[in-house]
Structures are given as structure tokens and as C-alpha cells.
Structure 1
Amino acid sequence: MASETNFESMPRTTAVVDWEPTLPPTELIFDDGEPLETNRHRIAMNALIRSLPSAMADRDDYFVGGNMFIYYSSAQVRNKDFRGPDFFVALGVDGRTDRLGWVVWEENGRYPDVIVELMSPSTAEIDTGVKKEIYEQIFRTPDYYVFDPFDPNSLRGWHLDANQRYQPLVANEQGWLWCQRLGLWLGTWSGTIDRVGAVWLRFYDRSGNLVPLPEEAAQARADLAQQQLETAQQQGLQQGALRQLLRLLATRFGTVPPSVEQDLQALDGDRLEELVDVALAVDSLEQFVNRLS
């Protein structure tokens, strides 16, 4: 008969289990090789990205991205749900850091503050359904917009209310939607970008001025410089013609009264040159003054 073992009398040992918290995945995919829907979608995305620095020139604590993956959970990585927003902005972050994508756990838990999805007939249901729910319930992104670059009347937007629920934004008289986080209007603009004429989604400042693309800003500066040069040239010609006329009047009729000189200063160069012939034809300063009117 086998002897019985008294387990209670045996010395107890403590099992040591090595445990560490589950860490986020480190091998992430940042390019699925899939392009945007169309060339117009690509241009629309780049127009928003490239124009934003003009509106944010007084700060660098932001990051703007487009068609980039946003990783926010291990489950998302396991499900291989990689596709990110077409355009997004995160505020209060180091904007000088180059990023392949937006990895929430590497950004101190920060999610985008503004998201824009560029819809197409094949993505509209997802953009206004599943993605909208994710941006509202998981990301808590304050401002979310959708727009189809081939449908000028498709712009829609939502803003998180005090209960963290999306409420539809009401457009102003121009059909623009206010973006509270950026302090900008988001609206349509008809024109040519990258040689493609269409109705594009653009930013406007608080006063309703179009936020320019870099090339538009450069052209505006060039136009202003040319205008200033032409103005300076015209002023130089006007001053030269004025001096010539005053010398002629002084030679023929003596001292020119200040009131007459003041009236002449208000005239352009062409009119002053015409008055040289008048000054040569009249017999007195009084006759010349009468011809001024």
C-alpha cells in the first residue's frame, strides 16, 4: 500500500512569473502602395497641406499631414487597418520633427485636431459612417470635414459639442464652414492649381481672405514689387514734369503762388506735360490758371 503524502506538511514554494505589460507594436507599415483616388484628389490634398503654413506663419507647434497612416491601438495594427486621413492637423506638437506617420503612443497620446477626408463615390459611405464614428468616439477630433473634389456642393463638417458628440456645422453666406481649432474658414474656390482648373477646397482667414499657396504668395509679392516700381517711376516722371512746368511759369510770369503749385502737384505726368504747351501759349499767369480747370 502506497504511503499517503501529507501536502500540508511540505514546505511551500512561491512561483515567480516574469510579467511585463503589453507594449505597442514597433514594426509598423507606413506605405500601402495605394495612390489617392485621382489626380484631382492628390492636388486637393496638397493644396490644403501647402497653404496651411501661410495661415500658421506665427507658430511652429503643429504638424500637418496627408494620406498618412495614423496608428492608435494594437488591435488596429493586428487588423491591418492602415489607411489614414487625407488631411489632418495636430496642434501643440513639435512641428519640426519629420514623421512617416502619426503614431499616437509616440506622440504622448495626441490625436489630430482637424481632419479632412476627400470623398469619392466609393468612399463617401465610409467617410461619413465608420470613419466619422472613429474620429468622434476614439480620436475625439474636434473638427471633421468631408469634400468630394468632383462635387462643388459636397462640403460638410462637424464639431464636437460639450458631450463629445459631433454636431453639423452651419455654413455662412458663402457656403464656408468655420474651423474652430485653426481659426480659419474652410470653403470652395474656383481656379487653377497645378494646371488643373476646378473648384477646390481652400482655407480663408477670419476676414475672408484666401490663404495663398506658396506660388500664389510669391506671385503676389512679385506683383506688388512691380506695382511699387511702376508707381515710383510714375512719381518720378510726375515730379520731373512738375519741376519743368514750374520753371517755365517762373521764367515767363515771375513767382508762382503756392496755391497754383499745390494744384499742379495733384496732376499726373501726362497732364503736366500738356500744360507746358498751355504755359507757352498764354500771355499771363491768370490765363494759365483759368486753363487749369
Structure 2
Amino acid sequence: MTVEATKETIIETSVADTWELHKPPSDLIFDDGEPLESNRHRIAMNVLIRSLQQAWRDRTDFYTGGNMFIYYSSAQARNRDFRGPDFFAVLDVDGIRERQGWVIWEEEGRYPDVIVELMSPSTAQVDTGIKKDIYQRTFRTRDYFVYDPFNPDSLQGWRLNSEFQYQQLTPNEQGWLWCETLNFWLGTWQGTIDRETAIWLRFYDTSGNLVLLPEEAAQQQAELAQQQAELAQQQAELAQQQAELAQQQAEAERLRTEAETRRAEAESQRAEAERLRAERLAARLRELGEDPNNF
């Protein structure tokens, strides 16, 4: 969202007067009709929002949004000095309640805990200057990042230190920046989303795994289910093969047993025939007056 601000506004705005419970404005505007810089900026914003929602799909204690107004003081509201981060997340709040924008005095004074601005050449100076100062001094947003979706080398990030000053983050060997508040890395990923191929800003978990979009998670689950089905089919085929092999082995054992039985019977028959022959010979010798033991 395109916004204008001056350094005087920053200086005049302090933590004490950022919101006024006794006299909150009632004529807030939540749509200025200003589009995002490009379709790629729109996709990049939705990637961050939807992937965080997917990662924390079982949680209701956070809110994430983007390209929506954040009202933090009556003076800002009266001057129409709107500040709309492209992506922001607030923890430990009711994430189910519907909101047209983020109005600080309606949120018990809660400011965004994490902000990402998707820069362009026309907004880079504001995003790394005036806005960064406001997020540090007024919002006291713990983690702030900037990235130009058309420039893969543009990722920068800051962490609020104990003195409420932004300390620039050092990238890891992959070029990712650690977002301590969300417990995720922010890094680049090349691929096609919504029919546009680019190098997108994505979240990664502590193990380095890409935090998936809902459709990516569904595709992964479908592929896993397909793999499990194929594995089950392979296991069924293996079981069938094992059953057939066992049947073949049983048949072979039966045939071997039958052959052994036949051999034993044949041997028994030969032995019986030899016995009968010997008896006949002995009888004949006795008829002839000969002693069979002499033969």
C-alpha cells in the first residue's frame, strides 16, 4: 500500500500518545483504492500470509494480514497518514475475530510483532527509512524485513534489541534471515506460484524445510497418499508372490515326499523279491539234498 509520511510526524508521535482510548476516531477508512505495486507483489504478500496460516492452522492465538491499514494514533487517523505493511503478524491475540484493519486502540494497544515490506524502486527509501523508524520507535515491532520481489538480493532484516534499537540481522550460509518471533527462517525460493515464476520470499522451519502453502501441503499429502497406495500395492503383490512361492515350495515338498515314498516302496519290493528268491533257491537245494548254507 502506498503511503506518505514525514520525519516530523515520526518525531511528534511517541509511545505515550500513539493511541487515545478516551477519544478514539470513529470515521476510519479501510480502503483507499490503491493497488499493490504489481501482481508479483500481491502474490508475494499472499504467499507469506497463507503459508503462515497453513503452518499454524491448528492455532487461533495469532493474526496475520497484509495491505490493510494500521491505525495507531488519532493524529494519524485525522491526517489520513495511513501505514499499511504488506505483511504483518501479531501473536497472542484473538485470531478468529474479523477485522477490516488493525486499530491499535481496539486491540488493547497491541502492535505488529513482525512486519515484512515488499519493496519496489519507488518505495525502497521509505521502507528502509521512515517506515523502519516508525516500526522501531513507535510500533516497536520485534522483527522487520524488507524484500523486493523483483530483486532476489534485496532481502534485509532487523531485530529489536534490549535498547529498542534495530540491530541488522546476519544471513546464514543460504542467505536466510532468522525471524525469532515466528521461529522461522525467511529466505528465497524459486518456483511458480499462481502461474508466475519468480524468486519468492518464503518461510523455512528450523530444520530447513519449506513452509508450505495450503495447496502445496494438499499436493504433498496427495503424493504421500499415492506413495502409500503404491507401497500397499507393492506389499500386496509381494505377499501374493510369497504365497505363490510358499505354495510352490509346498508342492515341491509334496512331490519330494511322494518320490521318497515311492523309492522306499520300490526298495521294500526289491528286498521282498530278493527274500522270496532266496527262499525258493534254498528250498530247491534242499530238494536236491544240498545244504543251502554251503552256497
After TM superposition, the score normalised by the length of structure 2 is: 0.78
Partner of 2:120: 120
Residue identity (%): 65
Residue 179 of structure 2 corresponds to: 179
- Report the residue type matching 2:120 in the other structure: S
Give the structure 2 partner of residue 194 of structure 1: 194
In the alignment, what sits opposite 1:15? none
Q: In 2, Cα distance between the equivalents of 1:93 and 1:168? A: 27
Matching residue of 1:205: 205
Secondary structure of 1:36's match?
coil
Q: Which amino acid aligns with 1:135?
A: Y
Following TM superposition, by how much is the alpha carbon of 1:55 offset from its aligned partner in structure 2, in angstroms?
2.1
Structure 1: how far apart are the matches of 2:252 and 2:89?
72
Give the aligned partner of residue 36 of structure 2: 36
Q: C-alpha displacement at 1:30, in angstroms? A: 0.3
- From the superposition, tell whether residues 255 and 230 of structure 1 become closer, same or farther in structure 2 (CA, over 3 Å): farther
- Unaligned regions of 5+ residues in structure 1, if any? 1-20, 257-293
Residue in 2 that maps onto 1:26? 26
Are the aligned partners of 2:71 and 2:83 in contact in 1 as well (CA < 8 Å)?
no
Q: 1:61 aligns to what? A: 61
Kindly report which structure 2 residues correspond to 1:247-286, keeping only aligned pairs within 5 A, or say none. Answer: 247-254=247-254
Q: Could you say what secondary structure the match of 2:197 adopts?
A: strand
**Partners of 1:203 and 1:64 in 2: how far apart?**
14
Letter in 2 for 1:108: E
- Output the CA distance in 1 between the equivalents of 2:244 and 2:180: 59
Q: Distance in 2 between matches of 1:122 and 1:248?
A: 78
Q: What code does the residue aligned with 2:112 have? A: P
1:165 is aligned to 165
In our comparison, the structure showing a higher alpha carbon Rg is 2
Judged with a 3 Å threshold, the aligned counterparts in structure 2 of structure 1 residues 38 and 249 are, in CA distance, closer, same or farther, namely: same
- Residue in structure 1 matched with residue 98 of structure 2 by the alignment: 98
Task: Return the letter of the residue paired with 2:41.
Answer: H
Q: Which residue of 2 aligns with 1:9?
A: none
Residue 78 of structure 1, CA deviation: 2.1
Distance 2:246 2:238 in 1: 12
Mean alpha-carbon deviation: is it higher for 72-81 or for 166-175? Answer: 72-81
The offset of 1:79, in angstroms, is: 1.9
CA shift in 2, pair 1:103/1:255, >3 Å: farther
* Deviation, structure 1 residue 94: 0.4
Distance apart, 1:253 and its partner CA: 3.5
* Residue matched to 1:85: 85
**Aligned residue for 1:152?**
152
User: Which residue of 2 is the match for residue 231 of structure 1?
Assistant: 231
Deviation per CA, 1:146-205, whole angstroms, max 9, x where unpaired? 000000110000000010000000111111111111111111101110011110000111
In 2, Cα distance between the equivalents of 1:210 and 1:99?
Answer: 29
Q: Which structure carries more relative contact order (alpha carbon 8 Å, separation 6+)?
A: 2
8 A contact 1:149–1:201 mirrored in 2: yes
More divergent stretch after superposition (22-31 vs 137-146): 22-31
Aligned to 2:143: 143
Deviations 1:195-227 (A, max 9, x none): 111100001111111110000000011001111
Task: Return the alpha-carbon distance in structure 2 between the equivalents of residues 245 and 87 of structure 1.
Answer: 62
Q: RMSD of the alignment, in Å? A: 1.5
Per-residue CA deviations over 1:89-119 (Å, capped at 9, x if unaligned) read: 0111100000000000010100000000000
Q: Does structure 2 retain, via aligned residues, the 8 Å contact 1:67–1:83?
A: no
CA shift for structure 1 position 57 = 3.2
Q: Name the CA shift for 1:231/1:136 in 2 (closer, same or farther; >3 Å).
A: same
Deviation per CA, 1:55-108: give whole Å up to 9, x if none: 223421111010010000011112211241000001111000000000000101
- Give the paired residue count: 236
Mapped contact 1:48–1:202 kept (Cα < 8 A): yes
User: How far is the alpha carbon of 1:249 from its aligned partner?
Assistant: 2.0
Aligned counterpart, 2:243: 243
CA contact (8 A) 1:185 1:206 kept: yes
Give the aligned residue type for 2:230: E
TM-score (norm 1): 0.78
Number of the residue aligned with 2:4? none
